[in-house]
Copies of this chain bind each other. A is one copy, B any other.
Amino acid sequence: MKRMEEKILAEGVVMPNGVLKVGSFLNQQIDTRFLVEVGEEIARLFKDSGATKIFTVEASGIALAVVAGIAMDLPVVFAKKNRQLNVNVETYSSMVYSFTHGADTKIVVSKEYIKPGEKLLLVDDFLAHGSALNGLIAIAEDAGAEVVGCCVAIEKSYQNGGDNLRARGYRVESLAIIDQLVETDILFK
């Protein structure tokens, strides 16, 4: 998606620790007009996927999932992080390692919202090592749901999470694929 690359080049900042900061338009601050375009692009890519639900993880996946859900007229479910859900609620969970934060996070979703046979489109903001998507896939498998595709705003191809998922047979679409972050420069694939 050309517009995603343009936004990253115009507003993205490469931090000294190799983190790409897109807080001005994608998380922390959200450019809603741009986000609507992103939702429409996700809908275009996955219109024939047969998805029945969008599945993401809080917090920065939610905005993307919502615009995708609006464009595709599908409900959204998001897994919660490190939280007790209400008592007496049965849950699926998996562990996700965050390289940014250097810690494991447990993600949890109520069994009510992911049903066997459901066709899930996974959506997230970043795909680097693939931890978050792998955590969502583990929950989908546990629930007996099918993952019909994964769509992320920004993939860092040099961290291999995307290619590992593709090698396992998943359809992974990234709206921008970053090949290299050179000091404070960004090179697309």
Contacts and interface: CB of A to CB of B under 8 A. Distances in A.
Given A32-B70, A66-B63, A87-B16, A23 B113 contact: yes
Chain A interface residue bracket vs B = 35 or more
A117 interface: no
A59 B32 contact: no
A62 B56 CA distance: 13
Interface in A114-154: none
A66 B28 contact: no
A164 to B, nearest CB: 26
B33 A77 contact: no
Contacts of A35: 66, 70
A68 to B, nearest CB: 9
A78 B112 contact: no
Nearest to A72: B32
A75 interface: yes
A73 B34 CA distance: 10
Interface in A1-35: 15-17, 19, 21, 23-24, 27-33, 35
